[in-house]
Structure 1
Amino acid sequence: MAVLSFQAVNMPSVGHCCSRRNSHCNGVSIIRCGIAEASGEPAPMGQKTKYNDGVFEKVFMTLFARKMSKFSRGRSKETGWLDYDYDSFVDVSKSVMEGRSRQQQQQVVREVLLSMLPPGAPAQFRKLFPPTKWAAEFNAAITVPFFHWLVGPSEVVEVEVNGVKQKSGVHIKKCRYLENSGCVGMCVNMCKIPTQDFFTNEFGLPLTMTPNFEDMSCEMVYGQVPPPFEEDPASKQPCLVDFCSLANPNSSFCHKLKA
């Protein structure tokens, strides 16, 4: 995900800060400006976190939704830069998921990510960011400010990769995408697996994402090779029956995780 921040996309210039608690825009303010909860933290499990999205957030929601809508059964017409909010962005994702296998969903996300990059970007990324400790830590650092709109507030944490301690981990406190969709299948098929594969296979920088379906947090570790799908605990995760309208309470694992 983090590499998308390097692309010069055709969008209006934004320097907007939407935080009710900050009167100026700096690095820290931008990271936190999405949360509208009085505590400044995500809402407890079972409650949906309130966000106060500004121009920056809505531009990226619309950018992603425009790309995704080309594969959906819903609206695909051209829209304005601020026409999508987060709920409509999630709705487009659900539409893309319908009628597609797990592999087909992941392929759609791969194509969307590639479409947002200039030609030759993966090869250039491999040159700029070989799989080193520095590259892993750098990508972790830029994930936090550039993707708060997508996954909510996060922070860089120290992890151990191949016996080496490094600050290449990102702890997402409560994933906004999982919280709003409530769907295990969307989390795994349209975020976790394709993002891991994109970094590991296209960019050559391994990435492992480990969602916690108990509290909707997530751990990202740059530099760590992800396990095969069949060995990943997420592949056997049951539906979140209390949150997902597509849930099958009688299945031992989410039916959207089938091949």
Structure 2
Amino acid sequence: MKVVSPAPDAKVTVEKTIYQDSLIDRLCIWLFSRKMAKAVGQKTRLKGYDGLVDLSKQMMQGRNAQEQKNVVLVVLNSLLPSQVLALVRKLVAPNQLVCELNAWFATRMFGWLVGPSEVRQAEVTGPDGDVNLQKSAVYIKKCRYLEQSQCAAMCVNMCKLPTQEFFAQEFGIPLTMTPNFEDYSCEMVFGQMPLPIEEEAAYNQPCLAMHGGTTPSTEACPKIRN
């Protein structure tokens, strides 16, 4: 995957990233979109990543925040056989090495979904309250999904929350994802237990300025809370 940034323009406040997906990237996007279409019982006429985002928007229709998260969990669980998930839960303990390996793996396998990322160090608070410095953080420079969807609710309900729950339930690995709605970056910290969503800044996030071409609101996005 190649990322091409357009030349700066004084009239443009947010530069849209242009992706040149490889054959493998396109295959991953197609497979994930196919799983989404099956879970929601819908199809899309759009191709590639546009189709993936369109299916995400269809998932939102007629579903509250909890239902949106649940349908994404169905998609995530369908990506791996249940026997594999059960084996991983049995054999893999959520120690520092495992968390660091997950961070390394994420930066190399999911660029097609979220864009370029890198491993960073983070202070991780364990269940005993001890704080450890470990390389289990993934810094997503500019999330492709958030940038293209332009929807705070899709980010929270259909990425952040289901991904955190998937790793906790299926792999026994705590994960905290912290999106930045100003520059579209995101930090994932494997091994860090997330706060209740009501205590996070994302819970009070207004709709994005560019979403729907309307004037940005200062009130929390209702689709995140309902």
Structure 2 distance, partners of 1:73, 1:48, is 31
Contact 1:65 1:84 in 2 (8 A): no
Q: Please tell me the residue identity of whatever aligns with 2:168.
A: T
Contact 1:61 1:86 in 2 (8 A): yes
Partner of residue 240, structure 1: 208
Structure 1 distance, partners of 2:102, 2:14, is 31
Partner of residue 128, structure 2: none
Partner of residue 121, structure 2: 158
Structure 1 runs (4+) deviating above 6 angstroms are none
Does residue 147 of structure 2 align to residue 147 of structure 1? no
Structure 1 distance, partners of 2:223, 2:214, is 9
Structure 2 distance, partners of 1:174, 1:76, is 25
Identity %: 48
Q: Which runs of 5+ in 1 are unaligned?
A: 1-32, 78-82
Residues 205-246 of structure 1, C-alpha deviations (whole Å, 9 max, x = no match): 0000000111110000000001111112111101102x2128
Q: Which runs of 5+ in 2 are unaligned?
A: 126-130
Partner of residue 224, structure 2: 257
Structure 1 distance, partners of 2:208, 2:88, is 37
TM-score (norm 1): 0.78
Contact 1:139 1:222 in 2 (8 A): yes
Say which structure is richer in helix. 2
TM-score (norm 2): 0.89
Structure 2 distance, partners of 1:179, 1:197, is 23
- Aligned Cα root-mean-square deviation (Å): 2.2
Partner of residue 52, structure 2: 89
Q: Does the C-alpha gap of structure 1 residues 176 and 100 become closer, same or farther in structure 2, counting only changes over 3 Å?
A: same
Structure 2 distance, partners of 1:248, 1:68, is 31
* Equivalent position to 2:142, from 151, 174, 182: 174
Contact 2:5 2:16 in 1 (8 A): no
Which 10-residue stretch deviates more, 134-143 or 113-122? 113-122
Partner of residue 96, structure 2: 133
> What SS is found at the alignment partner of 1:70?
helix
Contact 1:156 1:171 in 2 (8 A): yes
